[in-house]
Amino acid sequence: MRVVSLSSSLLALLIAVLVTMLVARLQRGFIELHDATEQYIVCVNTAREMQDGSNYLTEQARLFTLWGDIEYLDNYFTEENETRRVDLSAEKLQKCSGESDSFAYITTAFQLSRALTKVEYRAMRLMVEAMGVDPAEWPQELLDTVLSEEEAALSKSEKVEAAQHLLRSRTYQEKRDGIAASITAYRNTMAAVTRDRQTKAAGRLSASLWQLGVYSVLLVVSIFASWALVYLLIVKPIARGIGYVRRGELVPVRGAMEVRELASVYNEMFEENQEKQRIIRREAERDALTELLNRRCFERTLGAYKQAGEPFALVIVDIDTFKTINDTMGHSVGDAVIKRVASALGGAFRGGDHICRIGGDEFTVIVSDITKADADVICRKMAAINERLSVPEDGVPTVSLSSGVAFANNKKAAERIFENADEALYRVKKTGRNGCAVY
C-alpha cells in the first residue's frame, strides 16, 4: 500500500510538474500571440505613417507649384527637415520588421521617396526663380539644387509650366505608385509572417492541451483525489476558458494559480486589444480637432441614407470669413472657433442626427426622419446657433454661419442632395452670408 501510495504520489508529483510546465507553455503561447499581433500593428501603422509623410510632401510641392504660396514651401521643408515622417518611419520599421525579408520593400519605398524629393526640389527651384523670390530666403536644399542649362534659360512662365509638368509627369507618378506598391507589399508580407507565427503558436497551444488531457487521464488512474484536484483547478477552468476565448469574451479568473495568471494575462491582452480596436475605429471615424464624424464617415453615412430611400435632410454649413480669422488671429484662435461651432451644432441637433466636419471650416448635418415641410425647424436651429455665436465666449471671437439645406424622400431625390444643399449654401453666401437657405 505504501509502495502504491508512494508510486501514486510520485506519479501525481510528476504529472503536477508536467501540468505546471504545460500551463507555463500555454502562457508563453498567449504572450507570443500578443507580441506577434502587437508587432504587426506597430509595423502597419508605421508603414502607413511613412506613406502619409511621402504623400504630404508631394501634396505641398504640387500646391506650391500650382498656387505659388510660400506657406506650402514652408510646410514642405518643415515636414522634410523637422517632422521627418518618412525617415523616422523607415528607421522604426527596420527595428520592428525583425528577421523577415519584408524590410526590403521599405528600403525600395524609401529610395523612391528620396528620388521624388530630388524631382520636387527641381520643381520648387524653378518656381522660386519664376516668382523672383530673394535667394537669401531660399531653403538650403533649393540653393544646392542645380538646374540644367535649358531649364535655367526658360522664361518665368515657362519655368512655372516646367515645374508643374515635373510633378505631373508619368515618371513622377510611377515613382509614387511604386512607393504605394512597396508599402502594400510590406504590409502583406508582415501579415503573412504574423499569421505564420500565430499558426505555430496555436499549434503548440493545441499540442499542450492534448498532453494535458493525457496527463489528466493518468492522474485519474493513479489517484482519484489528485486527479479530481487537477481537474477542478486546472483542466476545467482551462476548458471553460477556451470557450470564452472562442466567443471573444473575458475569461473568468478562477482555478489554480497558474490558470488564474493565464486568464489574467489573456484578459489584459483582450482588454488592451479591444481598447486599441476602439481607438483605431474612433480615429478612423472622428475628426481629431472636434471629435465630430469625419469626411470618410460622412460619405459612408450619406451613402447609406441614399440607399435606404427614407426621408432625410442634408445641411451644409460654412463658417463665414474663416480665412480672415486664421490670417489675422492665428490658427490657434481658428481652431477654437471651429471647436465652438462644433459644440454649437452638437447642442442644437438631435442625438440621432449625424454631425460631421468634412473640411477646414465646412460642416454637414444629416438629419434623419424629416421632410421639407419641417424646413423651418432646421432654419430656426441655424438661426439660434448664429445668435449664440454672435456673443464672444472665453476669448473666442464672434462668427456667423452660412448654411444650405436640401431634402430627399426617396432614392432618386437623394442622388443630388449634396449638390442641392451646396447650391442653397451658395445662394446664402451670394446674398450676404449669415443665413440659411432651403433648396
Q: What angle do CA 298, 285, 345 make, to 5 degrees?
A: 60
Count of helix runs (H) and strand runs (E) in the chain: 17, 5
The SS3 assignment for 124 reads: helix
Q: Using an 8 Å Cβ cutoff, are 53 and 89 in contact?
A: yes
Q: Which of 287, 318, 353, 361 is catalytic?
A: 361
Q: What distance lies between CA 48 and its chain's CA centroid? A: 9
Query: And the C-alpha cell for 49?
Result: 505613417
Residue whose entry in the numeric block shows the C-alpha cell 471651429: 338
The set of residues, in sequence order, having a beta carbon less than 8 Å from that of 6 and lying 6+ positions away, is: none
Query: What phi and psi values does residue 368 have, to the nearest 5 degrees?
Result: -85, 155
Residue whose entry in the numeric block shows the C-alpha cell 455665436: 389
235: DSSP letter: I
If DSSP states are collapsed to H, E and C, what string results for 67-122? HCCHHHHHHHHHHHHHHCHHHHHHHHHHHHCCCCCCHHHHHHHHHHHHHHHHHHHH
Edge-to-edge strands, sheet with 354-357: 354-357, 362-368, 312-319, 401-408, 435-438
The set of residues, in sequence order, having a beta carbon less than 8 Å from that of 294 and lying 6+ positions away, is: 285, 286, 287, 356, 357, 358
Q: Is 361 a catalytic residue?
A: yes
Helix axes of 257-285 and 295-308: crossing angle, nearest 10 degrees: 80
Residue whose entry in the numeric block shows the C-alpha cell 463658417: 319
Q: Using an 8 Å Cβ cutoff, are 424 and 437 in contact?
A: yes
Q: What whole-number distance in Å separates Cα of residue 96 and Cα of residue 42?
A: 8
Query: And the C-alpha cell for 345?
Result: 451644432
Query: And the C-alpha cell for 368?
Result: 434623419
Task: Looking at 252-374, list the stretches that DSSP marks H as alpha helix, in order from N- to C-terminal side.
Answer: 257-285, 295-308, 322-329, 331-348
Q: What distance lies between CA 404 and its chain's CA centroid? A: 30
> Annotated catalytic sites, by residue?
361
